[in-house]
Every structure is written in structure tokens, then in C-alpha cells.
Amino acid sequence: MKIIDLFSMGIRNLTRRKARTSLTIIGVVIGTFSIIIMMSLGIGMSETYTKQIMQMGSLTQIEVMVPYNWDESTGKPVETTLKLNDEAVTSIKALAGVKAASPVWSRQLKLVSGKGICWLYVQALDFSVIADFDMPDLKFGEWPSRENLEGVILGQWDGYFNNTKNYEQVIVDLENDPIKYTFDPSYGEENWGGQDLDKISIDFKPQPIVIAGQFAESSKENSYSSYMDIEVLKGMYREYIKKLPLADRKIAETEMQTYSSIKVSVKKLKDVAKVEDKLNDMGYQTYSLNDMVKEMEKTSNTLQLILGGIGAVSLLVSAIGIANTMIMSIYERTKEIGVMKVLGCLVTDIRKLFLFESTLIGLFGGIFGIIMSYIASFLVNKYGADLLGGVIGGGGGYYGEQVTSKVSIIPFWLVLVALVFSLAVGMLSGYYPARRATKIRALEALKTE
């Protein structure tokens, strides 16, 4: 039997019982539609979670720290010989997959301008590699250049000055007004007379500082600290500790040799886990936003399996409907099958005919199911985002920033999988009826009324 004959006979046989064929196809449509929509909601949730985490910072950055182990018997921390120093930075830079590594040395500064005081938490990094770290955009100014590393980049919420007399806000033009700094935490606290702070005679007088820029509005975690070049901040601190008592000075000099953490930038996202494993093997404790992504992906994948399973049940029911339709078709066409055998039709041709018809039902059902899925996905994203977004995690982001993610996302691979699945369901559902049709004896079939 030629392919064209197989196709024409299959179409003709399906259109004989239009109502029954249509209802069977509708069953496949519902099954395919259910699988695609259910999984698209899970995919939408996964993408929303990823975007929310990316708002907090870069997924390719790792924070390296010294682990704190506790002795359960004594309840005290166990001392470790592991240090975060320049040697540690050098060894981390040499790891495969690492793009850049910078020590992090933190200090608190007090900014002074006129009658205003502002506390500042400064993280000092190696500004020579700052371009390798994902930093928020600047509202004004620019990052210090390699030629001139002086200046501080203020965090988004830094730069608010208050009068120590009445704690009212003092308006300071961060770009133009003269601003000074001091490491002295007690500076200005005794100023209850309203006089200019830089006129108070104390041991540690403020020194001028350059405000190089300030972060624009951002939800990234590193926008909540101010930043300076590590060597610049250390130079400022050395000048400060010169006036400290000898014992305090030695303690301060020792503190400058170790770092609170080391910030690592990885070349590729796929290598983050490998680099973290290497750092853990070296004894360090690590943290990255990629760890949160992994946990959310596990939750998302579980939800997708559950939702996809619900859709698969619908497609299984439609498979039973296809098998029922084809078996009923055999009973109605028994005499026709007998005539085909008498005329010399091969058994394989009869099997192909019934398999073709059942596969065609799966194909049409899959195509219409895909079309219905795209329509439903569009309607859900347009009208149901507010309702379903709160259920699956869409809408609001971290730190109040809005996440504009789709609730339902249908990737092309999902369409292909659904279409192949519906074709497979149609073919498998028609296998038993096709096999049964080939076993009908020609003479008995011809006697059938």
C-alpha cells in the first residue's frame, strides 16, 4: 500500500465518525494543554526566583570566610590556623575558573561636614580588579581610576548627616561640600553647643576625604556598604593609629594583616560550584547566591514534576479514549478488514493503517493542545499575573524592588516534548487495536453482518 493511499484511507476513516473522532481528539488536546500549562507555571516560578536572587547580587561571586567551629563540650570556638591574608588571596587567585580575587578589609568611618556627622561602614577592596565584580551603577561620580585610587564610593543609603545637638538631618551636598573623616568613634559626640565640629580641639582631628561617587537605586546587597581601595584605606588608618598608645597600635597593626573575607569572581556561572568545592577542600567557608539558586531550583523542579504529573494523568485518560475509539472502529470495520485481506492487502499494511489513524489523532490533539496552551499562557500573563504571581512567587522582589517576570513561560523545548509525547500516546494507544485487527480471519470477517 502506498503512503498516499494510507493517508487518504486514514483521513476518510476518521471522518466517518466525526463526533467520536472529535471527542477523542479533544481528550488529547486537554492532556497536552494540561502538561504544557502546568509545567509552564513551574518554569515561570523558577525564572522569577532566579531574577529575585540576581537582584541581590552577582551569581558568579563567592564570599570566602574562615569557618567558626564550636567545641560542643566546652561551648567555646575552636581555634584554627587558617588565615585570610595576602598568601590566601594569592592561592585563591591561582585556582582554575577564578577570574579575580580581592581581600575585604572593613572599617567604620565618621564623616564630618559643618555641624553634621555621618557614620559610614566601609568595605575596602582591591580597586585594580573592581571591574571584575558586579557592582551597582553610580548615581553620580565614577570609580577611582588606576592612576588615582583616592576617594570613597558611598552606598545607596549612606551620606545622611545629622546634627548631634538635636539629631535633625543636616543637608550636605555630597558632590561639592567639603567633607572630612575620622576613625575616632567618640568624635563630635560631646558637641551639644552647636559649634562647627571641625573647630573642636581633640586629639584626632578630621582629615579631608573625597566622595568619588554614590550607588544609584539598587537592591543588590553590596549597595548597602561604602567602598574604598584597600591600600588607600590602610594608608588612612596608619596615619590614625600613629597617635594611639603603643599597645593599641600593635593590635591595630596586627588587625591590618588579616582580612574579614575574600571576595572571588568566577569566570563562568557553571564553574561556581566547582570553585566553591575547591575552596571548601582548602578548609574555607564559602557563601554565594548560587547556593540559594540551587535550593530554589530543587523546589521548582519538584513542583514542575508534580504539575507535569497532573497533566500526564489527563493525557493517560486521553490514551484510553484513543484505544477505545480504535477498538470500536475495528468492530465496525471487521468486514472491511476481511475484504482488504481477500484483495491481497498485507497484514503489515492493515497494522500501519490503524497505527496511522491513532497517531493522527495524537498529532491533531497535540497541535491543537499547543495552540490552546499559548492562548492560555497569554491570558494568564496578562490578566492573572497579580493573582497567580503571589502564589508562585512572582511580583515583588527583594528589598521592595518589583520583579517583572511572566507567570507562565513556554520554552520551545516544552512544545517539542509535548508534541512528541502526544504522538507517542497516539501510536502506543493504537498498537493493541492494530495488532488485534491483523488477527481477524478474512473468511470470518466476510461473514460478519
Of the candidates 291, 394, 396, the one whose C-alpha atom is nearest the C-alpha of residue 48 is 394
Are residues 222 and 67 in contact, defined by beta-carbon separation less than 8 angstroms? no
pLDDT number for residue 367:
92
125 forms beta bridges with 229
Q: Helix, strand or coil for residue 69? A: strand
367 CB burial (10 A radius; 0-12, 13-18, 19+)? middle
Number of residues assigned to the chain? 449
Of the candidates 101, 107, 95, the one whose C-alpha atom is nearest the C-alpha of residue 63 is 101
Alpha-carbon distance values, 177 to 112, 123, 194 (Å):
11, 23, 19
Q: Helix, strand or coil for residue 77? A: strand
| pLDDT > 90 in the chain, percent | 15
pLDDT number for residue 195:
45
CA angle 66, 70, 72 (to 5 degrees): 165
Taking the alpha carbons at both ends of the chain, their separation in whole angstroms is: 26
Of the candidates 2, 19, 25, 92, the one whose C-alpha atom is nearest the C-alpha of residue 322 is 25
pLDDT number for residue 20:
76
DSSP alpha helix (H) spans, 57-105:
86-93
* C-alpha to C-alpha distance for 205 and 203, rounded to whole angstroms: 6
**pTM of structure:** 0.63
pLDDT number for residue 56:
63
pLDDT number for residue 69:
67
pLDDT number for residue 192:
42
Are residues 91 and 257 in contact, defined by beta-carbon separation less than 8 angstroms? no
List, in order, residues 6 or more apart from 298 with CB less than 8 Å away. Answer: none
Are residues 290 and 57 in contact, defined by beta-carbon separation less than 8 angstroms? no
Q: What is the pLDDT along the chain (449 residues), one digit of tens a residue?
A: 566 766 777 677 777 777 877 888 888 888 888 888 888 887 887 777 777 666 666 778 899 988 876 666 666 666 677 888 899 999 999 999 999 999 999 998 889 988 888 889 999 999 988 888 888 888 888 888 776 788 899 988 888 898 877 778 888 999 889 999 988 877 766 544 444 444 433 456 788 998 999 988 765 666 678 999 999 999 999 888 887 788 888 888 888 888 989 999 998 888 888 999 999 889 888 988 777 777 777 777 777 778 777 777 777 777 777 777 777 666 566 556 666 666 566 667 677 777 777 888 888 888 999 999 999 888 888 876 665 555 554 444 444 444 446 788 888 998 998 888 888 888 887 777 666 666 666 555 455 55
pLDDT number for residue 375:
92
pLDDT tens, residue by residue, 321-337? 777 777 766 656 655 66
What residues does each domain of the chain span? 3-57+294-447, 69-287
CA angle 194, 197, 198 (to 5 degrees): 145
